[in-house]
């Protein structure tokens, strides 16, 4: 472009002298805005602490979750920790039955497995009961229906004592067994997808399915 082609007689040199200060102003303004924005991002009070808090929460909860195989806060298990300590120290509980209770409580949280008979592979209901009683030298039949013929029948539910076997089913046919641990509760391996746990005889599903109880010779 020549000087003659510029409007109003402006020359290239005069136009360049006007444009350079404008560009310089824009550049300096952009630099100033960037300098102000960087500290604001670095000092954001919400972003960094939120991440730190989340990591702290995970670090706090993970160990507890990995250890807690059984929910002690559930309705069935709410006073379980105190109950375990009381039963183990109860003067009316024989040493053999105390061993049964201790072994059963130690297995809380073991996964259910149909046909399972040991803590490595998991337990079904009769597998758990048989395993626990073998620790005191008592061999029981493999299935719950056959276990229901062992020992002495306890006809009054109010007369149950620690270590009694409690049986459940429908239409008079036994299909489940657990170990009574006192205070209206029993330990058992419920079903697929559930772990060895403590449930109540006082109300709910198992109260309705209760059929009978048996007391083995080891209880006396």
Active site residues: 125, 176, 188
Reduced DSSP (H G I as helix, E B as strand, rest coil) percent helix, strand, coil of the chain, to 5: 50, 20, 35
Neighbour count for residue 135 (Cβ, 10 Å):
13
Contact 110, 195 (CB under 8 A): yes
Contact 116, 122 (CB under 8 A): yes
Angle at 131 between CA 199 and CA 88, to 5 degrees: 55
153 Ramachandran zone, left/alpha/beta (phi>0; psi -120 to 50): beta
Give the three-class secondary structure for 110: coil
């Amino acid at each position: 472009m020549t000087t003659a082609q510029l409007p109003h007689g402006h020359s290239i040199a005069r136009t360049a002298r006007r444009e350079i200060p404008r560009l310089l102003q824009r550049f300096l303004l952009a630099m100033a805005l960037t300098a102000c924005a960087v500290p604001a991002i670095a000092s954001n009070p919400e972003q960094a602490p939120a991440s730190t808090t989340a990591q702290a929460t995970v670090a706090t909860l993970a160990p507890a979750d990995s250890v807690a195989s059984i929910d002690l806060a559930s309705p069935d298990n709410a006073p379980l920790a105190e109950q375990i300590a009381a039963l183990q120290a109860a003067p009316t509980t024989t040493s053999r039955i105390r061993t049964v209770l201790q072994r059963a409580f130690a297995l809380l949280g073991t996964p259910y497995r149909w046909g399972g008979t040991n803590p490595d592979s998991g337990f079904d209901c009769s597998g758990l009961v048989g395993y626990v009683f073998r620790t005191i030298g008592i061999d029981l039949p493999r299935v719950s229906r056959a276990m229901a013929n062992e020992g002495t029948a306890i006809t009054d539910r109010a007369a149950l004592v620690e270590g009694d076997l409690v049986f459940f089913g429908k239409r008079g046919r036994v299909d489940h067994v657990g170990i009574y641990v006192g205070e209206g509760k029993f330990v058992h391996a419920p079903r697929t997808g559930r772990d060895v746990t403590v449930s109540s005889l006082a109300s709910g599903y198992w109260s309705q399915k209760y059929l009978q109880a048996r007391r083995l010779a080891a209880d006396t």
